[in-house]
Amino acid sequence: MSNLNKLDFTALEVSERNYLKWVQEVKLHLTAKGIRATIEAPTDNKPVDEAQKATTMIFIRRHIHDALETEYLTKEDPRTFWLALADHFDHQKDVYLPKARHNWQHLHFQDFKSMNEYKSEVCRIRSLLKFCKVELIESDLLENTYSTF
């Protein structure tokens, strides 16, 4: 049965297409609710109580696709549930890095109708590379722009 409750953000899809955005949304919402510690490594100074764990599980299950909910039905601890989802979906960096590098190498100013379109594409590729822990410095940006003329 489809999730009829109004969601705070888009549910995690089976296709993995929105995993990265979904992770950020969940972390932000759990932080706002003061229960982010339920999905992070345990610390000695602040134990997590069962009510917080239950609240986190309800929240996360409300925001995943029904097929995923069924697949991970046996997970009762939010930390193990979070790690299981990460194990299943968190290979996105391996997928994005080669594509971002390819896009960066084949980015040409003359392929765009306006400077804004070009800048937008540069920002998109740069953020993907940054996500994959590859930093572009200003000289890289200038070199790429100059080489297209």
Instruction: Give pLDDT tens digits for 36-86.
Output: 999 998 877 777 889 999 999 999 999 999 998 889 888 999 999 999 998
Q: Is 112 helix (H, G, I), strand (E, B) or coil?
A: coil
The C-alpha atoms of residue 109 and residue 107 are separated, in whole angstroms, by 7
The C-alpha atoms of residue 101 and residue 81 are separated, in whole angstroms, by 32
Q: And the tokens for 147? A: 């080489």
DSSP code, position 17: T
Beta carbons of 2 and 66 less than 8 angstroms apart: yes
Instruction: Give pLDDT tens digits for 91-136.
Output: 877 888 898 889 888 888 888 888 899 889 888 888 888 877 888 8
Q: Can you name the residues that pair with 12 across neighbouring β-strands?
A: 64
% helix, strand, coil for the chain, step of 5? 60, 0, 35
Indicate yes or no: pTM above 0.75.
no
